[in-house]
Chain A
């Protein structure tokens, strides 16, 4: 290494620096123009949609006018980024509306650009474009492409298969649950949430025969999904499924079961069964959660609480002591602590 080579190195590094200076400048200008453009598109779209949904007989808006207005703000096939932004706005708007206006909006979407953009994305090699295409298709309810999407339900990319599975629910409704036992890969919490929400928004009337078919699933994510559906639809007749999973060997399945059961009040015979299961739960925190549920949803069962008070876990004992103390059994708590610490002064109350 000599001085000449260092000078050459300095020149190269300096050139890189200059390139980044230019990139920063370009980026600043682009961002500023882009933000202005997007705001314009958003405002125009808002105006067009509101006028279309609530058409003023005195000043009606026509489809031709809508298409021209959108074109004037840059919604043209060659402006792919603008088109993409418009799709986002369309999906966002559609997801905020229910009832007759939802159908009216769907009618509008079939008559304005973009046309056939989403289906082209599905054949892309990039997972990102593919998943995005699937999402757009189900959000815009383009059921004619269902067969194209169906084959991706077990795709190795998490986003592609997630969107495909959600599409399945959107297009098939409750019937889609029959595929649950046959799904091969894991389902994330978000995927479960989204499936439950789509089902609830689009198919509010439960079809239990498909739910019962899904009970066959041995997949942990499947069990969690079913319990969330039972909870969302408040299916009192199906809470046996949740109860059966309260003492499941998997931590997360138990967690979901405890979370879901909290939505329901149960008859005393069922509560007695839940109390039996309580001892089988291998995690003290989860036992604590179930204890709260039992306390809030049943009368004080002194035998049950006394058994827990003399149990092993210190935190649980404290929770049980609190319940007994606040519910007319102070003497039992005092007796317990006197036995524990006969020579010390009781430090409660």
Chain B
């Protein structure tokens, strides 16, 4: 029927089918985003109302609250490891432990920790390993009473997922939080994160996530974020808007209908019992956070136990986002591969009634709109070029349509920024808000094409079986301000 590319793209039928497919896809996405705003608004309001009856200051004084372990894997983080551990130790929660897993670092990380925290080796002969991991060499604990909550596990390298699994094995608390060692966690984060577990009613909470913020160029003192600044470069600044939109609108909306399939690996809390039941993180995928959440949900569905995955609107964890386009591409390439692997691993979910909404709605959404969006966009670009060459496009109309779509995107970002400003006091200066809005409005022209490139690169690697690991995400590091004490 089509004997050449010219014949294919020049076909009248192909043109109209493409137009309707793209418009249909865009309209569906628009409807989903609009519903997302309404659901997120409701979810944020309800979370706020509920928090009146269970304030952080009530929890901090309570007994019988669940014990929590933060598990932070570290690989060659020698430059910042001491500062990072101090930061994680400053979290305020009465029943709190910190397990740092040194995943076979080749640098001087372990030595630095031993010196700074006065660590001594403990007997590691009888460690139980409900989840198999690379072998643990030694366990270290501090001789100083002020670091009594710290445990360092020194193990052979097995990757991030394997390191976290080793931490889960060693933890003895009811709840475990997974984070990256270089994340800065708000001091009252655990007090807020346990709230859903304390209020658990007829549905078991199997996962709880909190908002993650971008803190490039912010000021850090003693491992604590003392002054939140907007990043000076456009790429990380755009990520601030992207994260606000993703966490405040996206995650909160899904949380409202119990449709969350992802809790970010940078900061998520789970019951240890359930994590062990499903065998911990899967070390074979680079998208281990998404994969674990889906596997946990599947496990609960199979056991027929009512459950919930929830998100909190507050930004409880700050991280350093990629500072230039090369690192951003590397990050999104990895995320895309992780998504591909997880979607493929759990393809049995698709329209599977056994898994109820998860099979009939949430998984198809992820397949079509999270996994499919870069592909649709990429095909869209090709079609525009091809149809343009063959003169099928009514340019004045197309430009108007593009402008309308662009404005809609701006409205979504503006609503997200408005909701953030209204609910939280992280960005309070008019200059910061103007900069955020400008970054959001420039996003489609500068930032988004880079994202698309990174995602397509990831898919390409998977499609042609090109082996690629986590990649080294070089960080610039936060601005560190020394305290009076450390100066002395």
Q: Could you tell me which A residues sit within 8 Å of B by CB distance? A: 2-3, 6-7, 9-10, 13-14, 16-17, 20-21, 23-25, 27-28, 31-32, 35, 92, 128, 131-132, 135, 158-159, 162-163, 186, 188-190, 192-194, 196-197, 228, 232, 259, 285, 314-315, 318-319, 321-322, 325, 348-349
Residue among A25, A28, A186 with max Cβ neighbours from chain B (10 Å): A28
> Would you give 24 A-B contacts (Cβ < 8 Å), ordered by A?
A6-B400, A6-B404, A10-B404, A13-B411, A14-B407, A17-B407, A23-B422, A24-B421, A27-B422, A28-B430, A128-B49, A132-B52, A132-B53, A162-B53, A188-B198, A189-B64, A190-B198, A190-B199, A193-B62, A193-B64, A194-B58, A197-B62, A322-B126, A325-B125
A348 close to B407 (CB less than 8 A): no
Chain A residues whose CB sits within 8 angstroms of the CB of B64 once the complex forms? 189, 192-193, 196, 228, 259
B53 close to A21 (CB less than 8 A): no
Contacting residue for A24 out of B201, B401, B417, CB 8 A: B417
Q: Render B23-52 as a binary contact track against A, CB cut-off 8 A, 1 for contact.
A: 000000000000000000000000001101
B404 close to A9 (CB less than 8 A): yes
Query: What is the CA–CA distance of A128 and B425 in the complex, to the nearest angstrom?
Result: 24
A190 close to B54 (CB less than 8 A): yes
Query: What is the CA–CA distance of A7 and B397 in the complex, to the nearest angstrom?
Result: 10
Q: Is B149 in contact with chain A by the CB < 8 A criterion?
A: no
Chain A min CB distance to B408 (Å): 6
Q: Which residue of B lies closest to A333 (CB)?
A: B126
Contacting residue for A232 out of B63, B130, B200, CB 8 A: B63
Contacting residue for B418 out of A20, A31, A35, A189, CB 8 A: A20
Chain A min CB distance to B129 (Å): 8
A319 close to B126 (CB less than 8 A): yes
Q: Which residue of A lies closest to B430 (CB)?
A: A28
Q: Could you tell me which B residues sit within 8 Å of A by CB distance? A: 49-50, 52-54, 57-58, 62-66, 125-128, 130, 197-202, 273, 276, 396-397, 400-401, 403-404, 407-408, 410-411, 414-415, 417-418, 421-422, 425, 428, 430, 433, 437
Query: What is the CA–CA distance of A14 and B408 in the complex, to the nearest angstrom?
Result: 9
Chain B min CB distance to A94 (Å): 13
- Pick the 7 closest A-B CB pairs, nearest first: A322-B126, A190-B198, A315-B128, A13-B407, A20-B414, A6-B400, A128-B49
Chain B residues whose CB sits within 8 angstroms of the CB of A194 once the complex forms? 58, 62
Chain B residues whose CB sits within 8 angstroms of the CB of A322 once the complex forms? 125-126
B126 close to A325 (CB less than 8 A): yes
Contacting residue for A193 out of B50, B53, B198, CB 8 A: B198
B410 close to A17 (CB less than 8 A): yes
Chain B residues whose CB sits within 8 angstroms of the CB of A10 once the complex forms? 400, 403-404, 407
A189 close to B400 (CB less than 8 A): no
Chain A residues whose CB sits within 8 angstroms of the CB of B128 once the complex forms? 314-315, 318-319
Q: Which residue of B lies closest to A292 (CB)?
A: B172
Query: What is the CA–CA distance of A135 and B397 in the complex, to the nearest angstrom?
Result: 60
Chain A residues whose CB sits within 8 angstroms of the CB of B50 once the complex forms? 159
- Given A10-B404, A21-B414, A23-B418, verify A159-B126 contact (CB < 8 Å): no
Chain B min CB distance to A8 (Å): 10
Chain A residues whose CB sits within 8 angstroms of the CB of B430 once the complex forms? 25, 28
Query: What is the CA–CA distance of A232 and B397 in the complex, to the nearest angstrom?
Result: 73
Chain A residues whose CB sits within 8 angstroms of the CB of B202 once the complex forms? 186
Q: Which residue of A lies closest to B53 (CB)?
A: A159
A28 close to B198 (CB less than 8 A): no
Contacting residue for A163 out of B49, B53, B199, CB 8 A: B53
Which secondary structure dominates where chain B touches chain A?
helix
Q: Which residue of B lies closest to A13 (CB)?
A: B407
Chain A min CB distance to B120 (Å): 17
Query: What is the CA–CA distance of A28 and B414 in the complex, to the nearest angstrom?
Result: 14
Query: What is the CA–CA distance of A27 and B419 in the complex, to the nearest angstrom?
Result: 10
A188 close to B428 (CB less than 8 A): no
- Given A17-B411, A158-B201, A188-B199, verify A31-B425 contact (CB < 8 Å): yes
B407 close to A189 (CB less than 8 A): no
Query: What is the CA–CA distance of A33 and B415 in the complex, to the nearest angstrom?
Result: 22
Contacting residue for A189 out of B197, B404, B411, CB 8 A: B197
Query: What is the CA–CA distance of A80 and B70 in the complex, to the nearest angstrom?
Result: 41
Query: What is the CA–CA distance of A228 and B63 in the complex, to the nearest angstrom?
Result: 10
Chain A residues whose CB sits within 8 angstroms of the CB of B407 once the complex forms? 10, 13-14, 17
Q: Which residue of B lies closest to A320 (CB)?
A: B126
Query: What is the CA–CA distance of A269 and B46 in the complex, to the nearest angstrom?
Result: 52
Chain B min CB distance to A24 (Å): 5
B415 close to A20 (CB less than 8 A): yes
In the complex, besides A6-B404, A325-B125, 19 extra interface pairs with C-beta distance below 8 angstroms are: A6-B401, A13-B407, A13-B411, A17-B411, A23-B422, A24-B418, A28-B433, A31-B421, A92-B57, A132-B52, A158-B201, A163-B53, A186-B201, A190-B54, A194-B58, A194-B62, A228-B64, A318-B127, A348-B126
Q: Which residue of A lies closest to B49 (CB)?
A: A128
Chain A min CB distance to B194 (Å): 9
B421 close to A28 (CB less than 8 A): yes
Chain B residues whose CB sits within 8 angstroms of the CB of A159 once the complex forms? 50, 53
Chain B residues whose CB sits within 8 angstroms of the CB of A31 once the complex forms? 421-422, 425, 428
Contacting residue for B126 out of A32, A135, A196, A318, CB 8 A: A318
A131 close to B53 (CB less than 8 A): yes
Contacting residue for B53 out of A35, A135, A189, CB 8 A: A135
Chain A min CB distance to B429 (Å): 8
Chain B residues whose CB sits within 8 angstroms of the CB of A32 once the complex forms? 428
Query: What is the CA–CA distance of A186 and B201 in the complex, to the nearest angstrom?
Result: 7
Query: What is the CA–CA distance of A23 and B417 in the complex, to the nearest angstrom?
Result: 11
Chain A min CB distance to B437 (Å): 8
- Given A10-B403, A16-B411, A197-B62, verify A189-B198 contact (CB < 8 Å): yes
Chain B residues whose CB sits within 8 angstroms of the CB of A23 once the complex forms? 418, 422
Chain B residues whose CB sits within 8 angstroms of the CB of A189 once the complex forms? 64, 66, 197-200
Chain A min CB distance to B203 (Å): 11
Chain B residues whose CB sits within 8 angstroms of the CB of A2 once the complex forms? 397
Query: What is the CA–CA distance of A162 and B54 in the complex, to the nearest angstrom?
Result: 12
Chain A residues whose CB sits within 8 angstroms of the CB of B130 once the complex forms? 315
A6 close to B126 (CB less than 8 A): no
Chain B min CB distance to A36 (Å): 12
Chain B residues whose CB sits within 8 angstroms of the CB of A92 once the complex forms? 57
Query: What is the CA–CA distance of A23 and B408 in the complex, to the nearest angstrom?
Result: 17
Chain A residues whose CB sits within 8 angstroms of the CB of B198 once the complex forms? 188-190, 193
B63 close to A188 (CB less than 8 A): no
Q: Which residue of A lies closest to B403 (CB)?
A: A10
Chain A residues whose CB sits within 8 angstroms of the CB of B418 once the complex forms? 20, 23-24, 27
Chain B min CB distance to A46 (Å): 16
Chain A residues whose CB sits within 8 angstroms of the CB of B414 once the complex forms? 17, 20-21, 24
Q: Which residue of B lies closest to A284 (CB)?
A: B130
Contacting residue for B396 out of A3, A17, A158, A259, CB 8 A: A3
